[in-house]
Copies of this chain bind each other. A is one copy, B any other.
Amino acid sequence: MTTRPKIYLFGDSITEDSFSVGGWGASLANHFSRTVDVVLRGYSGYNTRWALKVLERVFPVSLGGDGGNETAPVALTVFFGANDACLPDRCSGFQHVPLHEYKENLRSIVSFFKKRWPTTHVLLITPPPIDEEARLRYPYVENPEGLPERTNEAAGEYARACIAVATECQIPFIDLWTKMQQSPDWKQDYLSDGLHLTNEGNQLVYEEVIGKLIDEGLSLESMTVDLPLIADIDPNDPLKAFL
């Protein structure tokens, strides 16, 4: 008897909020309700610099002393960049991480996981696009200058950097920045405050993650259901299913 496989969601507030109503994390957990534990490790406001500082604490080596292999997750999403991409000279500048360091940090995060869990499918997700006007309408902190703390152009640079790291590391990625902007109404449809996701934005992320997991061979059909489904229980002799 083994324990149920896990998928970790590691990221910033877009991950931390992913179990709110209609959230992409909850949808994943619902999709895999009989097969996989979806484990939330979202840290609102965090950038890759801080993520790197806490990596060992978020993913401690298992107490079994086996280097954590016994509890290797089947997959893991890494979804940072929206905070790194804050402009350095604006009101959320303390969250900014320079582009070159962002790439370096992402590489370090990926190699941490690849070293810890060689078989785990690590999936990078780029930051979403930014609706700058909405960012002014929904400020997170005092913003006396009246300039958006994030721009779509900067988010795009970080998205491309994320893709470059994924390509270099030969791991799958979701180009959320491009994907969302393929819809003409992306600002209203996908973003609630110019950065965080609406229900529709959450649905898009959910579907993209499911799609990438299928590409990696992790479809619902490929997963083991650990206990009999009601459809497989014989009404004339139900207990037979539990022998």
Interface residues of A (CB under 8 A from B): 1-3, 16-17, 19-23, 25-27, 29-30, 33-34, 37, 39-40, 42-46, 49-50, 53-54, 56-58, 60, 63-64, 70, 94-95, 226-227, 229-230, 233, 235-236, 238-239, 242
Could you say which residues of chain B place their CB within 8 Å of the CB of A27? 19, 21
Q: Which 10 A-B pairs have the closest CB atoms?
A: A45-B230, A26-B26, A94-B235, A53-B242, A19-B30, A19-B29, A1-B60, A20-B30, A19-B26, A44-B230
Which residues of B sit under 8 angstroms from A226, Cβ to Cβ?
Answer: 57-58
Complex: A43 Cα to B116 Cα, angstroms: 32
Please tell me if the beta carbons of A227 and B43 are within 8 angstroms of each other in the complex: yes
Question: A233: shortest Cβ distance to chain B, in Å?
Answer: 7
User: Interface majority SS on A: helix, strand, loop or mixed?
Assistant: mixed
Contact call A33/B19, Cβ cutoff below 8 A: yes
Residues of B within 8 A of A1 (CB): 56-57, 60
> B residues within 8 A CB of A63?
64, 70
What is the total number of copies of this protein in its complex?
2
Measured between C-beta atoms, what is the minimum distance from A65 to chain B in Å? 9
CB pair A22 B19 closer than 8 Å: no
A37 x B34 contact (CB < 8 A): no
Task: Report the nearest B residue to A238, measured CB to CB.
Answer: B94
| A-B pairs with beta carbons under 8 Å apart, 5 shown | A1-B57, A2-B60, A33-B42, A63-B70, A95-B238
- Say which residue of B29, B50, B60 sits within 8 Å of A26 (CB atoms): B29
Partner of A238, one of B20, B37, B50, B242: B50
For the complex, what is the distance from the CA of A138 to the CA of B127, rounded to whole Å?
43
How many Å lie between the Cα of A214 and that of B119 in the bound state? 40
Q: How far is the CA of A25 from the CA of B107 in the complex (A)?
A: 34
Measured CA separation A132–B178 after assembly (Å): 50
Inter-chain contact B45/A227, CB cutoff 8 Å: no
Docked pose: A126 CA to B23 CA in angstroms: 28
Assess whether B42 is in contact with A16, with CB atoms less than 8 Å apart.
no
Q: Give the docked Cα–Cα distance between A21 and B31 (Å).
A: 11
Residue among A17, A19, A21 with most chain B CB within 10 A: A19
CA–CA, A236 and B93, complex, Å? 10
